[in-house]
Structure 1
């Protein structure tokens, strides 16, 4: 148990909380003053359009601001309104999203836009219950949208905010074990007259000052109340869960050519990881299999055709949130059989030029680039 300093805050680890009114007011005032001077100028903060703010909130889930900005601007050019997004084909939606990762976010945006268009004529709802009923929107996202767009006094609790609050009270368990307490604290601290600015300030504090490593406490407006700071143990908070080793999968991937120099690609089912994206077929190497044996088996199981495995094209290392993959990619020749979408949504023969119009996962884009280099070398 961490020994606490003699501060105005008194909290139990996972139970109820109490915070004197003067402490709340001081925290609110100092944070808003800091935000007025230090807050980031971000494109979605220059609008009150709930649709544009919704898009930003979804894109910012598990993705850094600097990565999001060009995607956000490109998205709004492609789909400037809810109705434009609702009417778009999913393939186009995923193509615009391509490279941002966590593709369920794009699928949920598309599905939710269709619901909004169907139920409220394309007008984004201002009622929190209606917002929470939309696909892909939880309590933090709803609070972020409605506070930013309509200045509604709704709390948030994203990763940055959890870290700030855990350090503020020197939370003695990992945040995942104290979510009710952290929600209560976020709601208690929320400045009711300026919830838009307060929530944005809280996120900025975590993103730019109270960072996971080496927090810049000399720039923080809350050090006067921060338990972790006064204990000199900022790096020990938030406390972490014990994590299991990350699985590593070895995948055999086939670039299948036919006699017309077309390449076979397949579309994943719409649900699950990378749902709705196109890819080069293949699968996991089983125990005792060679890569060639794996690729032949997978293609027979997935597409019902016979292939000859040829030369190695490229090996790609790629990491997802909960596992890593090594993609071993080989040129293959179609030998016999008509391809069938046995374990996928759809299949197509395409030229290397045509392939650019299809949305692919990030790792598969590297395969396409390797193919371009290979074809160019054959011509020269």
Structure 2
């Protein structure tokens, strides 16, 4: 659904199966005192949002949609391009080339000419091309910092997945590596030497060395891995913190797993949203944005929200109307674009555009169950 030299969103989404087993709540490592949430006071004043053109992956169709979020609908919809069945994550390079993970293969889109220029098939067998939450094919995707490789997490329904490596010059898969189940997210270390693949159904992050494709598994399961609501309390999306290379994975609006990818050590910090969480992204100043999709335990959890977590750990919560999937901040961090195409029931055809300073939310009906959002580079 991230980070992600320009964007990866996502994400996240796959085909066939039902919820896999989850976990008994486990004692978390010692944590700092919980931050106090705030939904009232706005953040300090910041520059006005910068206009941008967005690219949405239409998981409910076979297209990507271009959007001008500064316009009201229907003028905000700038048109769509067919890319392939049920597109999930997207990564965009500085030249405006978009790499889109679909059920059929990775689509290459010239976002300036607004045409698909290639569709790169996967080498991993994924079964019939289908749609829906558990479909096979590409989920998370990321572009290397030097632009020479694209890394895509490929879901194989009911089995472990694969990381496929695409040469951007030849536009072909040149290598694969084994990863966990349902690779929702793919991220890169700041130096591009490691790929981090988040396995939703295997409770893990697979660390892949980009030089020789050696892999190492880190379990990330703050609630354990078996039983009860544990089938929901799994990792979804990961953020790489540039300052120290730590991996940040939010869980249930209660626990932020901070992972050292070198040692595999997992430390827990408290969160305050108290809601099931999916997408996460980092702003330019280190602010962490996390999408809350709503309660999986209605007796104790709250509704959908966007967590705005400052680098010092303090949090503000912005209520959202209905579930969403991923979030992408604007380049200046003043606006958060939250995709409405939640992978389960409740998703909608549009974005919630959040003014980070005032917490004002504008619902913009565009796209077809959009899952990932990329901010396109400015046209010269």
Q: Same fold (TM over 0.5)?
A: no
TM-score of the superposed pair, with normalisation by structure 2: 0.24
- Higher fraction of helix: 1
TM-score, normalised relative to structure 1: 0.24
Between structure 1 and structure 2, the one with the greater Rg is 1
> Greater RCO between the two (CA within 8 Å, min separation 6)?
2
